Amino acid sequence: MQDTAISIRQVAKRFGDFTALHEVSLDIRQGEFFTLLGPSGCGKTTLLRLLGGFEPASGGQIRLFGQEIERLPANRRPINTVFQQYALFPHMSIHENVQFGMRMLGIGRREREARASEMLQRVQLERFAQRRPGELSGGQQQRVALARALAPRPKVLLLDEPLSALDLKLRQAMRLELKQLQEDMAITFVFVTHDQEEALTLSDRIAVMSAGEIQQVGSPREIYEEPANRFVADFIGETNLLQVSVQQSGTDGWLHCQLANGGEAQPLRCPVAPGIRPGQSAWLSIRPERLSLSAPDATGAGLDGVIRQSIYMGTDTQYVVALADGQTLVARLQNGGEAPWNRGAAVRVGLDQQAARLLGA
């Protein structure tokens, strides 16, 4: 079991009579890349600001390596922050910018210079050391901001959407660099983003947030493959949500379900899910890539429907299927195999039952 770097217990934040965080509890492990993910306004920046000490909590407790930090001001916490706006000092050279945090900590000049050079080497900017920030590109400036935040070797680095000002290509390249840097330096990263793809590619674990509450904490795989509820299933990646009624627990260990308005060849078999019982209605969540298409006269289970739309996407094709009961599904099939399905074709949609999830209505 890894040590806990940050322990958050029932931390709440109110602004007047508006509650931005409702008693959030969370453990962040030492050395992990931990991401707070959620839509705009869900409270991720607020939680980050409480960790950084930029804002007092309205209740609860935050411990850093076992120590209560509530009364420790921001500049005395072994924590550094990188913001979306990198805010480099325009009149200082890149080398001086990177030294800045260490100067504030009273680290001697020789050590400061050595560490700044080392950090600039790590982010591959040593040849720009004597330039001013205005003479660098956006991506280079963001790397300087990272080097500046990491040079004092904080125990924890907070990152608030640090890549969102960069264009797509640069953002993708910077993701890899960021991940590499975090692994090499073994510093705990707490990263805020609303971009689920960014969260999935970077994180060891993710907390999915909505409306000031944590919906689920888990590895990218857990969050994607075993979403805890409808919000998480819908927010992370793409999913199909079908309204079903749960018929019975089969002797085969599966729950048997039917579409709300009927139309399946045979009852669908779904994995048992906590809190879901026969007689209830529920949502069946299934990812587009976990569906297959075959001719409707084929034997076996599945949902009958008609292809409404086919969208070629390079490596795969996305099919929109109108089901007999009036609901719609999206299936994504890899190109290069069988001949593509045409619009209007009648199909039977097969579900990878292991990958289906029943979620509370």
Task: Tell me how far, at minimum, the Cβ of 45 lies from ligand ATP, in Å.
Answer: 3
Q: Which residues contact 308 (CB under 8 A, 6 or more apart)?
A: 320, 321, 322, 328, 343
Backbone angles phi, psi at 76, to 5 degrees: -105, 0
**Among the listed residues 6, 8, 32, 46, the single contact to ligand ATP using CB under 6 A:** 46
Task: Tell me how far, at minimum, the Cβ of 227 lies from ligand ATP, in Å.
Answer: 19
Residue 56 interacting with ligand ATP (CB under 6 A)? no
Task: Tell me how far, at minimum, the Cβ of 218 lies from ligand ATP, in Å.
Answer: 19
Task: Tell me how far, at minimum, the Cβ of 41 lies from ligand ATP, in Å.
Answer: 4
Residue 43 interacting with ligand ATP (CB under 6 A)? yes
**Among the listed residues 24, 33, 38, 348, the single contact to ligand ATP using CB under 6 A:** 38
Residue 45 interacting with ligand ATP (CB under 6 A)? yes
Report the site for ligand ATP in 111-130 (rule: CB under 6 A): none
Judged by beta carbon, residue 189 or residue 341, the one nearer ligand ATP is 189
Judged by beta carbon, residue 41 or residue 278, the one nearer ligand ATP is 41
Residue 40 interacting with ligand ATP (CB under 6 A)? yes
Judged by beta carbon, residue 217 or residue 356, the one nearer ligand ATP is 217
**Among the listed residues 2, 25, 41, 108, the single contact to ligand ATP using CB under 6 A:** 41
Q: What is the CA radius of gyration of the chain?
A: 25
Residue 37 interacting with ligand ATP (CB under 6 A)? no
The piece of 15-23, 71-79, 298-306, 330-338 that touches ligand ATP (CB under 6 A) is 15-23
Backbone angles phi, psi at 62, to 5 degrees: -120, 125
**Among the listed residues 11, 33, 37, 44, the single contact to ligand ATP using CB under 6 A:** 44
Residue 15 interacting with ligand ATP (CB under 6 A)? yes
Task: Tell me how far, at minimum, the Cβ of 63 lies from ligand ATP, in Å.
Answer: 21
The piece of 38-46, 98-106, 132-140, 151-159 that touches ligand ATP (CB under 6 A) is 38-46
Q: What region does 142 belong to: left with phi over 0, alpha with psi -120 to 50, or beta? A: alpha
Residue 11 interacting with ligand ATP (CB under 6 A)? no
Residue 162 interacting with ligand ATP (CB under 6 A)? no
The piece of 34-42, 60-68, 86-94, 338-346 that touches ligand ATP (CB under 6 A) is 34-42
Give the per-residue SS3 of the chain: CCCEEEEEEEEEEEECCEEEEEEEEEEEECCCEEEEECCCCCCHHHHHHHHHCCCCCCEEEEEECCEECCCCCHHHCCEEEECCCCCCCCCCCHHHHHHHHHHHCCCCHHHHHHHHHHHHHHCCCHHHCCCCHHHCCHHHHHHHHHHHHHCCCCCEEEEECCCCCCCHHHHHHHHHHHHHHHHHHCCEEEEEECCHHHHHHHCCEEEEEECCEEEEEECHHHHHHCCCCHHHHHHCCCCEEEEEEEEEECCCCCEEEEECCCCECCCEEECCCCCCCCCCEEEEEECHHHEEEECCCCCCCCEEEEEEEEEECCCEEEEEEEECCCCEEEEEEECCCCCCCCCCCEEEEEECHHHCEEEEC
Q: Cβ distance 100 to 148 under 8 Å? A: yes
Task: Tell me how far, at minimum, the Cβ of 173 lies from ligand ATP, in Å.
Answer: 23
Judged by beta carbon, residue 45 or residue 239, the one nearer ligand ATP is 45
How many residues of this chain bind ligand ATP (CB under 6 A)? 12
Residue 196 interacting with ligand ATP (CB under 6 A)? no
Give contact residues for ligand ATP (rule: CB under 6 A): 15, 18, 20, 38, 40-46, 194
